[in-house]
Structure 1
Amino acid sequence: MNKVITNFMTGQRFLFAIITYIIAFSTLSAQTPLLQNISGRKTTLLDGLWQSQVDVYGVASQERSGLVKDRKPVKYQFNGENLRNTELVEQDLDVAEQLKVPGDWNTQRENLFYYEGNMWYRKKITLNPQAGKRYFLHFGAVNYEAVVYVNGTKLGQHEGGFTAFQFEVTSLLKAGENKILVNANNIRGENKIPTNITDWWNYGGITRSVNLVEVSETFISDYFIQLEKGKIADIKGWVKLEGSQKSQNVTIEIPEIGLKQTVKPDTSGFAALSFNVKKLQLWSPENPKLYLVKLTSATDTITDKIGFRTIETRGTDILLNGKPIFLKGASIHEEAPFRTGRAYSEGDARTLLTWAKELGSNYVRLAHYPHNETMTRMADEMGLLVWSEIPVYWAVKFEKPDVYVKAETQLLENISRDKNRASIIIWSMANETPETEDRLKFLKKLIDKTKSVDDTRLTAAALFSKASKGLQTIEDPLGEYVDVMGCNEYIGWYTLPAELAPTIQWTSKYNKPLIMSEFGGESVAGLHGKADEIWTEEYQNRIYENQVKMFDNISFLRGTSAWVLMDFRSPLRLLPRKQDFFNRKGLVSDTGIKKMAFYTLKRWYQTK
């Protein structure tokens, strides 16, 4: 009887988590729930050249009237058209310069390199919308805020520069020419996520792909299919239908293992699913096995490639598929190799992740915001575990409720897109935030929200340790609530001589695993000299040689992610001839040169 009650309660908690997930996503900006797996649907790719217009004052949605007495007002209500000979409109996208989408505007035109402000984008497309179909305009990301119009009608806006959003446009599309107009605004602010100071470049624009998605009137909008926490043969999850025929059956198939199950959604279109699998190959860095998963209803079919693995902690151990694992890796910014600018393409992702594999990594920290979906799907294919985080970074206004809402929205949008990616094992809440009561309440609430929508993964945050006479102690109160403690330390660069690192003793207030989420120092690729000469490769390498000796003495260390895989642009890094607006802590330069420290860390990873 006790076992029956326990099983019932476990099922109730699982159902409660799913219901909470659906409710949570009903409150996001733009339109929700986000369509799962855009690449698996019928789409019209809208990437390419878009007309563009800088709007420094942000006046294109205002009316500049009353400035001069008795002068006719200049119309600034702008819908992307210049009504020649009928009205005075001081913008004309028909003759404006073009920008590539996806892409940031900063690296496409020299005169926009430092620009922060409003940019108008317009795309004209010829369509033949089909009766009985529904259409969604889906953006991979626009930094930081986007206001979107279709054929002169304002659809709405989205805030957050690194998460996907969409609008349904079925009723607005017409046969023939259609006009999409986007105002992108990357102006920083203290009440935003991230806040107004960051150690990475504030690339503006439509930075990820834009798609027009065609679906049936009733379609499979979302699904979650993963192994139950701690179980290596029990798949659990759910599927969600949208449309007027929500009661139609949905069949879930994994043909390779002969699995097939049909579920009946309720009146809201939601159906839970669960099945036991006997011959499942578990996903791991050594064997990144992905299964073709097919979902079919009477009116829709969608396929995905999904891997199955479990991740949990036990004391100070991290367990992958029930076995202890040490995470060996590097942090990565979404900076394009060789050309710089915002990374977005399959080629960018493959280059960065290949460098990580060459380092000996089985894991990467995608810092300090959600990276593009190409990156996480490629991590699935290449066998790299992922720490995924949102840009709750440095001095966020933790005391303000509206700032919390922005953070939670980005968190939920991140989870929504990537919840079926086997590679992602950690949802991270924050990086290097000050220890205050408001901050603790803010981040604890984010952790609780994360657990309510996805309890199959671990939670973490990048914390600081406290130093005292050769002792480094982790006692941040947030450590009580995360599953895995991250710690950023720069012994040999910002603190203490590098040679002292091996002598330092590490302790923790919490019986939990530690990932050294950042460590390292800067060097200019190709600059050589003595080991005590700052900015040389030898100086950076000296830091790494002593760091790895220290790591061998930390009993509860279960992973490291060097800062950082590749040099990246930052407005904080001003030193001429050394930094030139680059953070030079990369193990690889922005032009692909591997530094001495790359090989030192690689040799250490080979011993783990």
Structure 2
Amino acid sequence: MRKLAITSLILILNLPLLFSGNLLHNNYLRKGMSLNGRWHYIVDMYETGYYNYRWQPHDGSENPGAGAFYLNMKPKDKMDLVEYDFDASPSMLVPGDWNSQEEKLFYYEGTLWYKKSFDVDDYDNSKRYYLHFGAVNYRADVYVNGKKLGTHKGGFTPFNFEMTHVLRAKDNFVVVRVDNKRAADEVPTLNTDWWNYGGITRDVTVYALSKTFIEDYSIQLDKENNKLLKGYIQLNGKENANAKVHVKIPELKINKGFTSNANGKVEVSIPVRKLDYWSDTNPKLYEVNIESDSDAITDKIGFRQISTQGSDILLNGDKVFLKGICIHEENVMRGGRAYSMEDAKILLGWAKELGCNFVRLAHYPHNENMVRLADELGLLVWEENPVYWTIQWDNTETYKKAETQLKELISRDKNRASVIIWSMANETPQSNARFEFLSKLAETTRRLDDTRLISAALEDHGKQENPNSMVVEDKFADVVDVLSFNQYYGWYGGDIENIKNIRWEIDMDKPIIISEFGAGALQGFHADSLTRWSEEFQDLLYRETLPTLAKIPQLSGITPWILADFRSPRRMLIPYQNGWNRKGLISETGNRKKAFFTLQKFYSELGESE
């Protein structure tokens, strides 16, 4: 049985509870019972198991009948009609996407039902039981023992439901309806440039908790005072008021007691004399123990400050240049969505090999393994909300979906030292509605976490009177802490041999990150440097672009697009693309392209000059 545990700590001053009552936060390091493994599944293209023939949801009826898949019914006798059978159906691995596990489902977008039977070892009816999902893409309807626990939307963020009221010691079953159909009013929307992997794509875990437990916590370095740890602890349960809570950091000889208020919340403030600050060159993590009368959790937390001063990004008060790379959450070697710590080690190991101290996790929240490992490796991280290209800016429900996913991301990773930037969006077209939408997201983010920086991947363009002069004309640039933009001169327009003549006219006194640039190349295809799709062409673009970008006075970092080739249905050109975005520096077979070594050399020489 796999043991899981409860998450991290880094800091958020006066962060309010993101959710009411029964949501379990910071669960990564908490011991739990894994439900990973093989689950039976039924493909339900017509959604027969969810709707009756009048197109009414079965789970909204008092008498749903045998057609409701979540009941997991068996015929009572040889004449009883039940037109499905999970136990006779095929199985697939969870976590994992269905596209890469079953050839017939490679292009499938729709509804698929999962079912897993389980017993609860050491079942204790004095405990509270939670069912936690790392992520399900996109909509998940969750049922245990025939009772609906709830619905979650959002393909890349964690969620859980309490199931104490329906659980028993033996013969339990969980059924999950997963629907990954794209829709115009969802986040992301219909149009993206990555594969829409469907399924239960991250860990599934059962947690047994005390009647009153530690629901959430944040402990981090105060953004103004580097000798003060601040944060909060939230208890959940009927006896959460006036409860004793201790914070212990053995290495710092800290053992401080607190008392919760009437709402079960503790405001934490702990002076420290000497700290070994977390950084990209010194990824120091402290063991932090939080204990109440009925619960205890342990986390590994780094303490650091991140800020800006004019056009500089400051880490613990010192200027830092972000030598980065963009990453999609795919294991190209195996194929499919990345989900394991082993996957994270491959991706972040490649980034370290490049010489990176920074990664942009595009274009959605990646697995928690990625930021956990980044904490250990000393990689600074940009995390992004999946507000991508064009969504329904005027739709209030769409905004709520975007805000919910952003809140879930911040809640999960608020204690990670590696995370320094929250990104609101990528390449979104300008309008007043879009500006209001993104500004509200930024306002929400600052309210929840005022200790990190805010950015978004914007776009540049050439001036009409002088195409060699590039500008960023976007009202949202005034809102962000770090001005970031994608630029593809030499690939999407512009002469690659003219890159050396390009200059950016930016009069804002803010740090600049070039959040994307690059060119496609089929690994192994060699030609002269002016032949598109060749490794030589991609390499030439890097060799021309890097020194040109370095001339931007406010430049504080770059994240070229992208670490590795990734699947995209938009990329159809045969033989070069064949369903892959080829802008990776590493192929889907793990082979480095010529531009990989050019960027590696640039970062190495940049480090020598610092």
The superposition leaves residues 379-428 of structure 1 with CA deviations (integer Å, 9 ceiling, x where unpaired) of 00111000001100001101110000000000000000000000000010
Instruction: Give the aligned partner of residue 393 of structure 1.
Output: 388
Instruction: Give the aligned partner of residue 80 of structure 1.
Output: 72
| CA positional deviation for 1:180 | 0.2
Answer yes or no: is the 8 Å Cα contact 1:63–1:75 preserved in 2. no
Counterpart pick for 2:501 among 475, 491, 503: 503
Instruction: Give the aligned partner of residue 34 of structure 1.
Output: 24
Alpha-carbon distance in structure 2 between the residues aligned to 1:496 and 1:32: 54
Counterpart pick for 1:354 among 340, 344, 349: 349
Matched, 1:191 2:185: yes
| CA positional deviation for 1:25 | 2.5
Task: Report the TM-score, using the length of structure 2 for normalisation.
Answer: 0.93
Alpha-carbon distance in structure 2 between the residues aligned to 1:500 and 1:303: 55
State the aligned residue count.
Answer: 581
Aligned ranges for residues 339-488 of structure 1 at < 5 Å?
339-468=334-463, 469=466, 470-488=468-486
Alpha-carbon distance in structure 2 between the residues aligned to 1:440 and 1:74: 48
Counterpart pick for 1:531 among 519, 529, 545: 529
Aligned ranges for residues 219-258 of structure 1 at < 5 Å?
219-246=213-240, 247-258=242-253
**Matching residue's letter, 1:302:** I
Aligned ranges for residues 208-357 of structure 1 at < 5 Å?
208-246=202-240, 247-357=242-352
The superposition leaves residues 578-602 of structure 1 with CA deviations (integer Å, 9 ceiling, x where unpaired) of 1110001001111110111011111
Instruction: Give the aligned partner of residue 8 of structure 2.
Output: none
Q: Secondary structure at the match of 1:547?
A: helix
Alpha-carbon distance in structure 2 between the residues aligned to 1:538 and 1:112: 36
Alpha-carbon distance in structure 2 between the residues aligned to 1:386 and 1:305: 17
Aligned ranges for residues 580-595 of structure 1 at < 5 Å?
580-595=578-593
Counterpart pick for 1:557 among 555, 574, 579: 555
Answer yes or no: is the 8 Å Cα contact 1:230–1:312 preserved in 2. no
The superposition leaves residues 24-48 of structure 1 with CA deviations (integer Å, 9 ceiling, x where unpaired) of 423xxxx753321x23222000000
Instruction: Give the aligned partner of residue 566 of structure 2.
Output: 568
Q: Secondary structure at the match of 1:336?
A: coil
Answer yes or no: is the 8 Å Cα contact 2:23–2:160 preserved in 1. no
Q: Secondary structure at the match of 2:28?
A: helix
| CA positional deviation for 1:74 | 8.9
Q: Secondary structure at the match of 1:56?
A: coil
| CA positional deviation for 1:526 | 1.2
Q: Secondary structure at the match of 1:157?
A: strand
Alpha-carbon distance in structure 2 between the residues aligned to 1:549 and 1:502: 8
**Matching residue's letter, 1:132:** S
Runs of at least 5 residues in structure 2 that lack an aligned partner in the other structure: 1-10, 56-63
Answer yes or no: is the 8 Å Cα contact 1:251–1:261 preserved in 2. yes
Answer yes or no: is the 8 Å Cα contact 1:475–1:509 preserved in 2. no
Aligned ranges for residues 28-177 of structure 1 at < 5 Å?
32-36=22-26, 38-64=27-53, 75-78=66-69, 79-85=71-77, 87-127=80-120, 128-177=122-171
Alpha-carbon distance in structure 2 between the residues aligned to 1:83 and 1:208: 33
**Matching residue's letter, 2:67:** Y
Alpha-carbon distance in structure 2 between the residues aligned to 1:522 and 1:364: 20
| CA positional deviation for 1:87 | 3.4
**Matching residue's letter, 1:33:** L
Q: Secondary structure at the match of 1:379?
A: helix
The superposition leaves residues 13-72 of structure 1 with CA deviations (integer Å, 9 ceiling, x where unpaired) of x99x636x22x423xxxx753321x23222000000000000001121222379xxxxxx
Alpha-carbon distance in structure 2 between the residues aligned to 1:80 and 1:380: 42
Alpha-carbon distance in structure 2 between the residues aligned to 1:74 and 1:311: 57
**Matching residue's letter, 1:55:** D
**Matching residue's letter, 1:477:** K
The superposition leaves residues 441-481 of structure 1 with CA deviations (integer Å, 9 ceiling, x where unpaired) of 00000000000010010000000012122111122100000
Q: Secondary structure at the match of 1:508?
A: coil
Alpha-carbon distance in structure 2 between the residues aligned to 1:512 and 1:495: 27
Alpha-carbon distance in structure 2 between the residues aligned to 1:390 and 1:91: 38
**Residues 583 and 84 (structure 1), Cα distance of their counterparts in 2 relative to 1, 3 Å cut:** farther
Q: Secondary structure at the match of 1:415?
A: helix
Indicate the RMSD between aligned Cα atoms, in angstroms: 1.6
Runs of at least 5 residues in structure 1 that lack an aligned partner in the other structure: 1-13, 67-72
Answer yes or no: is the 8 Å Cα contact 1:81–1:93 preserved in 2. no
**Matching residue's letter, 2:41:** S
**Matching residue's letter, 2:209:** V
Alpha-carbon distance in structure 2 between the residues aligned to 1:74 and 1:399: 40
Q: Secondary structure at the match of 1:39?
A: coil
Answer yes or no: is the 8 Å Cα contact 1:34–1:416 preserved in 2. no
Alpha-carbon distance in structure 2 between the residues aligned to 1:483 and 1:545: 29
| CA positional deviation for 1:171 | 1.3
Q: Secondary structure at the match of 1:407?
A: helix
| CA positional deviation for 1:509 | 4.2
**Residues 114 and 382 (structure 1), Cα distance of their counterparts in 2 relative to 1, 3 Å cut:** same
| CA positional deviation for 1:75 | 4.5
Instruction: Give the aligned partner of residue 18 of structure 1.
Output: 14
Instruction: Give the aligned partner of residue 7 of structure 1.
Output: none
| CA positional deviation for 1:573 | 0.3
**Residues 75 and 599 (structure 1), Cα distance of their counterparts in 2 relative to 1, 3 Å cut:** same
Answer yes or no: is the 8 Å Cα contact 1:340–1:568 preserved in 2. no
Alpha-carbon distance in structure 1 between the residues aligned to 2:210 and 2:67: 38
| CA positional deviation for 1:335 | 0.6
Instruction: Give the aligned partner of residue 201 of structure 1.
Output: 195
Answer yes or no: is the 8 Å Cα contact 1:34–1:417 preserved in 2. no
**Residues 74 and 216 (structure 1), Cα distance of their counterparts in 2 relative to 1, 3 Å cut:** closer
Task: Report the TM-score, using the length of structure 1 for normalisation.
Answer: 0.94
Q: Percent identity?
A: 48
**Matching residue's letter, 2:548:** M
| CA positional deviation for 1:275 | 1.4
Q: Secondary structure at the match of 2:199?
A: coil
| CA positional deviation for 1:84 | 4.8
Answer yes or no: is the 8 Å Cα contact 1:64–1:76 preserved in 2. no
Alpha-carbon distance in structure 2 between the residues aligned to 1:433 and 1:302: 41
| CA positional deviation for 1:201 | 0.1
Q: Secondary structure at the match of 1:18?
A: coil
Alpha-carbon distance in structure 2 between the residues aligned to 1:295 and 1:75: 47
Answer yes or no: is the 8 Å Cα contact 1:74–1:88 preserved in 2. no
Alpha-carbon distance in structure 2 between the residues aligned to 1:252 and 1:293: 7
Answer yes or no: is the 8 Å Cα contact 2:29–2:299 preserved in 1. yes
Alpha-carbon distance in structure 1 between the residues aligned to 2:238 and 2:66: 42
Alpha-carbon distance in structure 2 between the residues aligned to 1:571 and 1:540: 22
**Matching residue's letter, 2:502:** I
Alpha-carbon distance in structure 2 between the residues aligned to 1:174 and 1:32: 20
The superposition leaves residues 292-314 of structure 1 with CA deviations (integer Å, 9 ceiling, x where unpaired) of 00001111110000001110111
Instruction: Give the aligned partner of residue 6 of structure 1.
Output: none
Answer yes or no: is the 8 Å Cα contact 1:193–1:391 preserved in 2. yes
Q: Secondary structure at the match of 2:136?
A: coil
Answer yes or no: is the 8 Å Cα contact 1:328–1:605 preserved in 2. yes
